[in-house]
Amino acid sequence: MPRKPVSQVRADLPRKVRRGDDRAVISGLSAKTVAEIARIERRAYAPGAAHQALRGWRETVYEPGPWVTYPRWFSECPCCEPAWGGDHRQTLEAICHRLSRRPARELRAVLAPLDERFLARTLNDPYASPRDPWWRRRLETP
């Protein structure tokens, strides 16, 4: 039976959390991309903002219920929203725009399957403003 390489064994070990290291890492991104996202979070958001926004976007996309969903962009409870606002996809898009070319491509590759599923599960809003981002031009909960 073939053995795992040492690098794979080390990669499978749980990540040690150091004191002061409160940011969550998005799986599927390189170390350079994670470091650049952390730099952006320190300047404009809060530590772990990208991970929290991705988790919120994933919850919106995989919302239980019928196949066609009507997303709700803001929480009913203002204390549950992050400090920078409730639109998770807008946060991820802003981070993508601040990243350099290769890290932005990596983050967009992580977002692509979620975006495709969101487009498949939502309906186009014919009355939406063309200036709105594409995820806001979908029918939402009244």
Q: What is the pLDDT of residue 73?
A: 59
Percent of the chain with pLDDT over 70: 77
pTM greater than 0.75: no
Q: What is the pLDDT of residue 96?
A: 93
| 99: three-class secondary structure by DSSP | coil
DSSP tag of 4: P
Residue with tokens 């890290």: 103
Range among 64-73, 77-86, 89-98 rated most confident: 89-98
Contact by Cβ (8 Å): 37, 49: no
Q: What is the pLDDT of residue 97?
A: 94
- Residue 73 structure tokens: 């962009």
Give φ, ψ of 20 to 5 degrees.
90, -5
DSSP-assigned states of every residue in 56-74: HHHHHHT-SSSSS-----S
| 53: three-class secondary structure by DSSP | helix
| 94-118 as b/e: b if 16+ CB within 10 A | bbbeebeeebbebbeeebeebbeeb
Range among 51-55, 63-67, 137-141 rated most confident: 51-55
CA–CA separation, 28 vs 31, rounded Å?
A: 10
Interval 4-63: pLDDT, tens: 787 777 776 665 555 544 557 788 888 899 999 999 988 888 888 899 889 888 988 888
- Is pLDDT at 110 greater than 60 in this prediction? yes
CA–CA separation, 119 vs 123, rounded Å?
A: 8
Range among 67-71, 72-76, 101-105 rated most confident: 101-105
Q: What is the pLDDT of residue 20?
A: 47
| 113: three-class secondary structure by DSSP | helix
